[in-house]
Structure 1
Amino acid sequence: MTNAAQKIERKIVGYRVKASDDTQAASPVPESNVIQMNESVERPDVLMGTTYKLKPPVADHAMYITINDMILNEDTDHEQRRPYEIFINSKSMEHFQWIIALTRVISACFRKGGDVTFLIEELRSVYDPNGGYFKKGGVFMPSLVADMGAVIEKHLKAIGLMEDEEMSEHTRQILEQKRIEFESQGKRSDEDGGYPANSTMCGKCSTKAVIVTDGCSLCLACSDSRCS
């Protein structure tokens, strides 16, 4: 026999499925108290900070990028480390105004919460009209702003907000074998990054590590392959 319909007088705050042999009335599940990053979250007195040194060849002085993180839901199953603010310091005053503006905008995005990984793509797509530069390891940076985006990406991966795409050991062995074969043809390795000296730019990872082997272009840095 089915139970008669009952009118709900109070606000529903939770539910659970009642088993067939459950003779007790279903008790509401407590509303979750999980705190998400938002603009109304009050800044604590102490934040965890990480400082990254950035010395691009186009600048006379190094830049020090500090990202402070906030711990949400500490000591619970929902504990999460989120970026809260960013500061950039340098002896050079050449870019002072736009660096201050950039850090304030990025910090505001951090505090707003949600998915902040979009910032990386936006920053790394900024191109300097005077041309970019190569970092150690053969990685090309189209601008100083793009290099800052790379630092933020590194930090988000370190705190677990982004996944670092790890290359399998098998793929690493294949790429190393290809590199050795390519160098054995008389093309010496570049000191910067260990990639062949006449390798070209990879459109996927922006690293000067693309060689032509077996009729295909192969990136020795990210394994991207294209055949004509």
Structure 2
Amino acid sequence: MTTPWDVFLTDQDRAVVARGRFSRRMGFGQRTAVLVIDAQKYMVGESGNDAAWPSSCGDIGRHAVGEIARVVGAAQTAGVPCFFTRFEIDPSGNDMGVYRRKRDLLENEHWCLAGSIGAELVPQLQPAVRDVVFVKKKPSGFHGTPLLGYLVERQIDTVVIVGGATSNCIRATVFDAASYNFRAIVVQEAVFDRIPISHAISLFDMDRQFADVVGVEQVLEHFRTLPQTS
């Protein structure tokens, strides 16, 4: 599989990776769940009108949504639970914490404000009855949410992570997943970011240390090997 970070690595970098025995494969464990991180309208904007969506990842995000839908559909067919996070901020900004010192768009319905169109999940994704949707307030899907409890109750040992943005909420969720000793699988075509170099280097860092970055077909094949449930 061609990786987005290959072009940035020197021969010296590759020697460091080899010497340190980085980037080994963890593989899938016994029980898998899918974490869909912030696949919301504010993240992917509107074709031909991205200027009105200040956090949009543009065509890159919209293409990735199609791949996310493939992963989610296959997981739902196989009876694999899917957990959808929604990053949502009170319109007052009172729950933003220190993040408000970096940016805020509290007047914009196309951002992630509670009750706004921007905070909604993209229409291509339809949670199934067994799936769970919950709000988070920080980058990681684990921080201040019930996600860890959901995974423990279902005896999950592997999380397939899709969504955006790669350098922010995906990366934070991967690091927390690893800290809780889950196997983290990041689907290369099903994560997205606004800035290509941020996307590429974040994938490299995750694959080097705490996750397997894999192609979408490998994940779909894994789901096909699982016994289907009604």
Structure 2 length normalisation: TM-score? 0.20
Say which structure, 1 or 2, has more relative contact order (CA 8 Å, 6+ apart).
Answer: 2
Larger strand percent: 1
- Structure in which a larger fraction of residues adopt helix: 2
The TM-score, its normalising length taken from structure 1, stands at 0.20
Larger radius of gyration: 1
